[in-house]
Amino acid sequence: MALDPREGLVEFRDFKGLRNTVDERNFDNGDLSVALNCDIDDGLNITRRKGFSTVVVAGVDRALFAAGSTCLGVGSNALKQILPNYGTTTLRSGLTALRDLSYAAVADRVYYTNGIENGVVENGASRTWGLTVPGLPTASATGGSLRAGRYQFVVTYLREDGQESGASRAGVFELTSTGGVALSAIPVSTDPTVTHKAVYATAVDGGGFYRAGIITNAETVFSILELRTDAAPLETQFLAPPPAGDFIGYWGGIMLVAQGSRLYPSEPYAPELFDLRKAVPFTDRVVMVAPAKDGVWLGTDSEIIWLAGDSPEKWTYTQRADYGVIPGTFAYAPGEHLGDGSGTGDEMVYFASKRGHCVGHANGTLVNLTESRFAYPAQEKGAGIVRRHRGTIQFLTTLQGSETAANSVS
């Protein structure tokens, strides 16, 4: 601050941005209690923020997402694809009202969930995420060449692209003499993408399951007359589609689905098959799943956690902060965007915590950029982006129920 005697004006310089962690009477020069419609650049200069123009996307009012050429949003309880001309195509109607979606892009597919419903956008259409597990058919004796003894059998659904469902509960049937096992009332899938069903059985008196045959989805009977242990083995026993999670992320070939305080990992490179027994429990609600190069940043209502390791079975759990994350605010940006020169890698995780803007490095290092200056008021959720504006990198967040949009100049 300086007084210009020629003009009788007070000049302020070196604006440091918002500060709400100390009483205003203890502010340093350059601290601001309110900063509306203004930007502060790397040189600590303050300028008026440029205005904005509203792009009207018919019928879309929440849950925007873009990956490659796919742009999605929600409006009128429907998932919609946003076209280059800002028109829309409805992909799925009847979603639960006022629920935000969490998305994860895998190859040419986009997975989505809102805690109640989930699905997959593929080839311009929405389909189910994973295949339901079939029910158990009825078994009876028939003619055949199987030796007398106890046999087990299961059924799976097959999608037209070759994807297989989890296996049904194992049925057991005992032959009292040489013969075969006739299955009837084999369930018919109502999923339009299911074209066939596979039947698996064990050798007499146990062992692994091997494919005994394939029938069309419409067929409801099949007879197990002989078994070959060189046939395709069953690979989906005890697997199922994921629960409808609140937040998702794709890391190292594994889909991670957070529901409440539990994190469900998929099978490796099988984002639609989950062993629900492998859920990882946490002490509080999980509100952020942000994969990084060497691990996963996880946010709960009360902690910031780093999960490191090659697989969920080998994860090590490290608490990086004892305060929570504001849901919906995380975004990725290259490490070079972090102004202190410590950033590395193509994707660092920026997010809003309850004590300020944070950056999660790809190696598990956490930096709170604003803890000493700015703490967020209590908020239910928000949104965040990283942008380059007038040569300055900014992390922008907007919070539900707050009149303040906060910037962090990194």
- Cα atoms found within 13 Å of the Cα of residue 40, Cβ hemisphere only: 19
**Residues 6 or more apart whose Cβ sits within 8 Å of residue 192:** none
Quickly count: other Cβ atoms within 10 Å of residue 137's Cβ: 21
In a domain, 348, yes or no: no
Q: Is-contact 304 289, C-beta < 8 A?
A: no
- Alpha helices, DSSP H only, in 148-259? none
Residue 392 predicted with pLDDT over 50: yes
What value does the mean pLDDT take over residues 380-400? Answer: 81
Per-residue pLDDT, 9: 59
pTM, full prediction: 0.88
DSSP 8-class letter at 170: P
Domain count along the chain: 2
Q: Is-contact 203 190, C-beta < 8 A?
A: no
Residue where one domain finishes, among candidates 190, 224, 258 = 224
CA distance 51 to 339: 26
In a domain, 13, yes or no: yes
In a domain, 233, yes or no: no
In a domain, 44, yes or no: yes
Torsion of CA 301, 305, 310, 316, to 10 degrees: -120
User: Where residue 17 falls among pLDDT bands split at 50, 70, 90?
Assistant: confident
Per-residue pLDDT, 410: 45
Residue 402 predicted with pLDDT over 70: no
In a domain, 384, yes or no: no
Residue where one domain finishes, among candidates 193, 224, 255 = 224
In a domain, 11, yes or no: yes
Residue where one domain finishes, among candidates 174, 200, 224 = 224
Render pLDDT for 203-234 as a digit per residue (tens, 0 to 9): 998 889 999 999 999 999 999 998 888 899 99
**179 lies in which domain range?**
138-224
Per-residue pLDDT, 70: 92
Nearest Cα residue to 58 out of 70, 78, 36, 75: 75
β-pairing, 179-184 vs 222-224, is antiparallel
In a domain, 180, yes or no: yes
Residue 1 predicted with pLDDT over 60: no
Q: Is the dihedral of CA 203, 206, 210, 212 positive or negative?
A: positive
Q: Is-contact 70 81, C-beta < 8 A?
A: yes
Bigger pLDDT: 9 vs 165: 165
- CA gyration radius, the chain: 28
Q: How far is CA 122 from CA 91, 128, 189, 256, in A?
A: 10, 10, 20, 19
In a domain, 93, yes or no: no
